[in-house]
Amino acid sequence: MRRIAGIVLAVLLIGGVVAAVVAGRDNGDKGTATKTVRGVIGSEKADFFADPDVVKALAAKGFTVKTETSGSWAMEGLDLKGYDFAFPSSQAPADALAAKYKVRQPLPRPFYSPLVVVAHRSAAQVLADNGLATLDKGQDRGTLKMGAYVDAAKGDRTWQQLKGADQHGELTGTLYIATTDPETSNSGALYLAAASYVANGGRVAASSADVARTAPLMRKLISVQGAQQSSSDAPFRDFISGAGNPLVLVYESQVASLLLEKQPVGDLVVLYPDTTANSDHTVVPLTPEGRALGELLSSDPTLRKLAVRHGFRPQGDTAEFVAATAAHSSYLNQTLTGVRQAPVPTSTVLHDMARRARG
């Protein structure tokens, strides 16, 4: 009898374990189950979405995010059927995509980053000595004078024409800022937006006539560079490794992220153009799940902190970025003092500008 009772008890125990597992599947897992959303993103956000802490934070809110990278302006030529969202690096390509896919406004804009120019110490000092930049005393940052730079580009100035450049063998040839391809990449297009705004006397290009007025200069700024990358990641990594052009246009977020990771930056100097364009990273929701993700990235405190860790400035609160980057204020203009935001032309005008600049 005892043996029979033992067998019955064992069966009951096993049944209880099985019931518990089934109940866990039916009920307990609901809190951790995630819905998978797919998106196309600018490559500068790839590290953010690959961060294990970001993955964990998204999972805690019910999301598994799978991404593919593309140049922001190249997204317009992609077939986004089956995707939940696109995440270009500024509002102009996002608005173009929203119009194409009939996405309702407003679009979530979780974070942003101003464009900056990274320079080696020697190049930054030569620019300052020739009135093209100012350097903040005792700091690793300064201001690029866009008006003076645009005038230098118009006159085809070379490094050899700048006093002091002959002391640095790497400073030769035409003076220019290396950028990405403006027809496919956001940072390259925003560079043209800021330069044309300065060249046009502080007026944003709003028509074909406006574009035509500055087209020869825009062509100079691009043609002197030769082959261009479609992403700012490679030129920035080349610069940090000591290769490439002495002046490179990048996102501030790329610099801030490297500093926050305590990576070596060598003789890096960060030049903030006195007239620049902010890169408003904008989500284009193609499904309700995509919109929910965009709104979550904008509002969730944990995800906002993680965005700052990757160098981005969350929308609506500068204090988060200032506090997180306090140890690196010698490189970063945390409050963007002295930096003017150039209005960005519409998608149609910017496309036209990029096409003419590419010749």
Q: Which long-range contacts (CB under 8 A, 24 or more apart) does 201-204 make?
A: 204/342, 204/343, 204/344, 204/345
CB 187 within 8 A of CB 279: yes
Domains with residue ranges and CATH for the chain = 29-112+281-328 (3.40.190.10), 113-279+333-358 (3.40.190.10)
Residues 95-104 have pLDDT tens digits of 999 999 999 9
Mean pLDDT of the chain: 90
Q: Are strands 111-120 and 268-273 parallel, antiparallel or unpaired?
A: antiparallel
* Neighbouring-strand partners of residue 40: 68, 86
- Decide: residue 15, CB within 10 A, 0-12 exposed, 13-18 middle, 19+ buried: exposed
Tokens of 81: 């059927």
Structure confidence by residue, pLDDT tens digits, 31-70? 456 899 999 999 889 999 999 999 999 999 999 999 999 9
Q: What pLDDT does 275 receive? A: 97
pLDDT at 17 over 70: no
Of the candidates 225, 233, 215, 142, the residue with the CA atom closest to the CA atom of residue 177: 225
Q: Does 135 have pLDDT greater than 50? A: yes
Q: Which token pair is 210?
A: 């406006």
Give 175's pLDDT tier (boundaries 50, 70, 90): very high
- Under 8 Å between Cβ of 309 and 260: yes
pLDDT digits (tens, 9 = 90+) for 194-219: 999 999 999 999 999 999 999 999 99
When pLDDT is averaged across residues 263-288 and rounded to a whole number, the result is 95
Kindly provide the b/e burial profile for residues 129-146, where b requires at least 16 CB atoms within 10 angstroms of the residue's own CB. Answer: ebebbbbeeeebbbbbbb
Supply the pLDDT for residue 206.
94
pLDDT digits (tens, 9 = 90+) for 67-86: 999 988 889 999 999 999 99
Share of the chain above pLDDT 70, in %: 91
Residue 310 has a pLDDT of 97
Query: Is residue 251 within 8 Å of 232, Cβ to Cβ?
Result: yes
Q: For residue 179, is pLDDT > 70?
A: yes
Q: What torsion, rounded to 10 degrees, do the Cα atoms 325, 330, 334, 339 define? A: -160
pLDDT at 32: 54
pLDDT digits (tens, 9 = 90+) for 331-349: 999 999 999 999 999 989 9
Q: Torsions phi, psi of 147, nearest 5?
A: -60, -45
Q: In what order do the strands lie in the sheet with 85-87?
A: 63-69, 35-41, 85-87, 284-285
Q: Do the Cβ atoms of 232 and 180 come closer than 8 Å?
A: yes
Q: How many CB atoms lie within 10 A of CB 168?
A: 16
As given in the structure block, the two tokens for residue 77 are 């030529």
**pTM more than 0.85:** yes
SS3 letters across the chain: CHHHHHHHHHHHHHHHHHHHHHHHHHCHHHHCCCEEEEEEECHHHHHHHHCHHHHHHHHHCCEEEEEEECCCHHHHHCCCCCCCEEECCCHHHHHHHHHHCCCCCCCCCCEEEEEEEEEEHHHHHHHHHCCCEEECCCCCEEEECHHHHHHHHHCCCEHHHCCCHHHCCCCCCECCCECCCCCCCHHHHHHHHHHHHHHCCCCCCCCHHHHHHHHHHHHHHHHCCCCCCCCCHHHHHHHHHCCCCCEEEEEHHHHHHHHHCCCCCCCEEEEEECEECEEEECCEECCHHHHHHHHHHHHCHHHHHHHHHCCCEECCCHHHHHHHCHHHCCCCCCCCCCCEECCCCCHHHHHHHHHHHHC
